[in-house]
A and B are shown apart, each in its own frame.
Chain A
């Protein structure tokens, strides 16, 4: 089973890299980009075949390592 974890900075946490991307897009002439938030995507190939067990496993991974929950939020999609 494949899990795709998306980690983003929490709402309200300043994202200086997102801001830099927004400025660079404006410099390239892409007008009207009002906000850019940058995050990361982590794909996991799991041996687990039970969806509920996989969800619990990945949630624990996110809380303990994949995201720093002081500043980041996470979400998971399964394929």
Chain B
């Protein structure tokens, strides 16, 4: 299986995400934001965390309009899998690949600590390694993780089982405690917590490894 990890100016979790994917069996290509194509045969695209373009204008806003994102949108449109983590989640909402928006944390502080999450659905290639309702602890590190959408959108996400993760103790004011959401076809995931920082047993509890293991086991292809 082939993964492509996108790097924007200011990305800082791109290498961690590439390592986590490689550790679980993916052949990983690194893609630059100015590239207009993904490598042939890309199955999964990773949009990493960081502070793309210095968070200018809005977090993820400039990155979402960069050349590579047209290729990412085309990959998603043909049913390809995409995972956006932290800034990557912000980029996917700004690009219109996921609904809602990530606003400044309600407490106005940067939050950097492990948080407990509930896996709200097991029905995706990303979350199939957990039972629905399972709890998992993953690190968060963000200033703008406050997920908001209008109530009709939130109701639709809940009704369609597209809320992937919720916070057990909401650290940022997100509507309905949402920490991650899925696209309508369940193949695009955006999440604020960092599974890639918790994917290698050498670095502590590897609770995030289950996501990459499940993704690899799903044998996803685009």
List residues of chain A with CB under 8 Å of any chain B CB.
13-14, 16-17, 20, 64-66, 68, 70-71
Contact = CB atoms under 8 A, between A and B. Distances in A.
A16 B100 contact: no
B57 A65 contact: yes
Contacts of B148: 13-14, 70-71
Contact of A71 (B65, B103, B107, B108): B103
A50 B31 CA distance: 41
Contacts of A13: 103, 148
20 contacts: A13-B103, A14-B148, A16-B104, A16-B106, A16-B108, A16-B146, A17-B104, A64-B65, A65-B61, A65-B65, A68-B61, A68-B101, A70-B99, A70-B100, A70-B101, A70-B148, A70-B149, A70-B150, A71-B103, A71-B148
B94 interface: yes
Which one of B65, B101, B106, B173 has the highest number of Cβ atoms from chain A below 10 Å of its Cβ?
B101
Nearest to B148: A71
A71 B61 contact: no
B93 interface: yes
A34 to B, nearest CB: 20
Contact of B106 (A14, A70, A71): A14
B58 interface: yes
Interface string B128-163: 000000000000000000101110000000000000
A64 B106 CA distance: 26
Contacts of B58: 68
A43 to B, nearest CB: 14
Nearest to A70: B101
A70 to B, nearest CB: 4
Contacts of A64: 65
B105 interface: yes
A70 B149 CA distance: 7
